[in-house]
Structure 1
């Protein structure tokens, strides 16, 4: 192994960044890793960058946007993602309206910010408005990917006609802040491990490899029952046909008491510095028992570990690794 190759192999020690839930890491063509996540106060969106994943912990966060005092973007700013599309930066996030009765909890809609600067830590973030779907209801966790010349949006939303909290939907996009046509449901909570506490499919992340498109997602309540499932479709299939998508009957990433990791989920995918390995980014706690509502427990920490692949071409998530151990 050459010195150059060896130096590109990064060592992780988890947690990488404390108190950052729903972590999103994107490696850009400029060689930087860009990071955003939910902050414990749920009141702002931060972006930071570094030359390596480990160095993100020391990188100075820049506030891209803050919530309003009133109105539809005034509470519970959740799960931002940063994407680079057609020469501009976009942040997708969920925000709720403050009310006297529930402080906006589970009243979220999806919104989009745009930045034309080459470096998204600079320039101005412009609000592009609500990312509207085919109907108005609780919606969040927008992610986007391109395939065969078409850009798609995948997100979680409540269907008033379906029991549960959120299902996963897909639709083509005509702009980075709008969908076109009819949205299609590709997954809903159905297995026992998806309906503990809440009936939830959310937090989708996309990775393409071995002739397939894989969508990981998270399920159940945000305590130690939180876990990850997996959808897959052939790259040659009609992604707008629900029958193209198959769901793993068992979770692919779960609490591991032996390693002291609880409720792993809401992941993203990135690559190693040399581009040869896939990296799994996720959050988890290092304790099981939580006082009060898990949503307001701040200790979901950002973590990273290598994602390997099985002989049949499917991703092998393994188990969440222990704190303090070199990976």
Structure 2
């Protein structure tokens, strides 16, 4: 549950950044969120019964958590589209809605292929939906996880398909939303150890185009705690249907993290929050189980839809950090007078640095104050239970030892920014008039009565 935080002293203005709480939806896997021009976010995902396609909409990302859910299609009782209804995605193409999904046959549940639904309704929750059938030309082997994107005026289709012992990712040009042209191009196959745990899998492609490159994320390995997200990259001007255009990162970009209590992050999509920030949408479980002990992850219903901001490295590549803990959205504190620099902890000392590639070092959850619930405390993202606190007027990230002194040292009044009221300043609860400020690249607790020092004690929340 999100914490409602009251302000101490002069009220800080409402934060512009969108706020959301994880998980967004329980028992919803393979999530896909599409932001449409009508002002709504549309959300669909795999349900654990594998028998229907559901859809909900809201004007905010957080609103999707409580939005009414509509069943817009159910599996057939016989024949095609009769089993294993998986990984729906919703797209708006040339004035119509399309849902891509995977399904097996009622009489052969593993004969899984990609299919397409179409609707001309203004509101896709109302339907009706027309079955356009299997993607054409029809695939002859286990195929799933179709997605579509446009680049340089050309619409593409990407999907996963088994060939031999591998699940690979293929790419083709679309002629219309349910028909592709030419011979599909194989652009990724599992080769690294982290892609072959339990099964040899590359699946669940999702595309992000930015900074002169086409980034394609995918999921790998078995769908238990081994599941992780990888990254392919191609130059924006390259021939995307040439396998040589794509390079694969050797390590995952998002993986299980025992510190944050998230296991098997995968099958993601991308969207943009109301404030314009970039958001990754994915599922994970909040417990760790392994294959080999009688556990079948496909029968485990507890994959949950989650959303979190991601950022961009100085080299133009995306930085997803770690799967953040459940609860309120982590934020980053950016210096008002050095806007390319963020608060981060290194060996538990808090400092100000640019281009923090270990993203979670610079992310904090704003929670109710440990010593006063009307104030705030800042909890580390990658070290839950560790908080920003001052000690001997230096600022550290340290584990809450339960003492009154720690609680006071880790509690701050959230003030309107001393140098800019649209931003924030952090005033010590037990040393009124002293603020968190940077000096010489490190963070201190000091009085800043001189207006010349206000900028160093003012931060933007990103």
Which interval holds the TM-score relative to the shorter structure? Answer: over 0.9
Question: Does residue 163 in structure 1 map to residue 168 in structure 2?
Answer: no
Mapping 1:115-126, distance limit 5 Å: 115-126=119-130
Verify the 8 A CA contact 2:308 2:329 in the aligned structure 1. no
Partner deviation per Cα, 1:9-35 (whole Å, 9 max, x = no partner):
211211111110000001111111000
Tell me, what secondary structure is at the counterpart of 1:136?
A: coil
Question: Does residue 104 in structure 1 map to residue 109 in structure 2?
Answer: yes
Verify the 8 A CA contact 2:257 2:323 in the aligned structure 1. yes
Verify the 8 A CA contact 2:19 2:328 in the aligned structure 1. no
Question: Does residue 44 in structure 1 map to residue 52 in structure 2?
Answer: yes
Partner deviation per Cα, 1:176-209 (whole Å, 9 max, x = no partner):
0110111000000111000111111000100111
Report the equivalent of 2:284: 284
Question: Does residue 318 in structure 1 map to residue 326 in structure 2?
Answer: no
Q: Distance in 1 between matches of 2:138 and 2:56?
A: 33
Tell me, what secondary structure is at the counterpart of 1:118?
A: coil
Structure 2 unmatched ranges of 5 or more: 1-12, 331-462
Question: Does residue 301 in structure 1 map to residue 304 in structure 2?
Answer: yes
Q: Distance in 2 between matches of 1:72 and 1:60?
A: 29
TM-score by length of structure 2 reads 0.67
Tell me, what secondary structure is at the counterpart of 1:183?
A: strand
Tell me, what secondary structure is at the counterpart of 1:180?
A: strand
Report the equivalent of 1:33: 41
Report the equivalent of 2:101: 93
Q: Residue 84 of structure 1: which of 92, 98, 116 is its match?
A: 92
Verify the 8 A CA contact 1:17 1:301 in the aligned structure 2. yes
Higher strand share: 2
Q: Distance in 1 between matches of 2:28 and 2:179?
A: 28
Mapping 1:129-278, distance limit 5 Å: 129-133=133-137, 135-159=139-163, 162-164=164-166, 166-275=167-276, 277-278=277-278
Q: Distance in 1 between matches of 2:69 and 2:328?
A: 26
- RCO higher in 1 or 2 (8 Å CA, sep ≥ 6)? 1
Per the TM alignment, residue 148 of structure 1 is displaced from its structure 2 partner at its CA by: 1.2
Structure 1 unmatched ranges of 5 or more: none
Tell me, what secondary structure is at the counterpart of 1:158?
A: strand
Verify the 8 A CA contact 1:134 1:182 in the aligned structure 2. no
Task: Kindly report structure 1 stretches of 4+ aligned residues shifted beyond 6 Å.
Answer: none
Verify the 8 A CA contact 1:133 1:183 in the aligned structure 2. no
TM-score by length of structure 1 reads 0.94
Per the TM alignment, residue 172 of structure 1 is displaced from its structure 2 partner at its CA by: 0.1
Q: Distance in 2 between matches of 1:135 and 1:11?
A: 42
Q: Distance in 2 between matches of 1:325 and 1:126?
A: 39
Per the TM alignment, residue 325 of structure 1 is displaced from its structure 2 partner at its CA by: 3.7
Verify the 8 A CA contact 2:113 2:139 in the aligned structure 1. no
- Structure 1 stretch 294-303 or stretch 8-17: which is displaced more? 8-17
Verify the 8 A CA contact 1:110 1:132 in the aligned structure 2. no
Per the TM alignment, residue 244 of structure 1 is displaced from its structure 2 partner at its CA by: 0.4
Per the TM alignment, residue 80 of structure 1 is displaced from its structure 2 partner at its CA by: 0.1
Partner deviation per Cα, 1:217-237 (whole Å, 9 max, x = no partner):
000000000001000111100
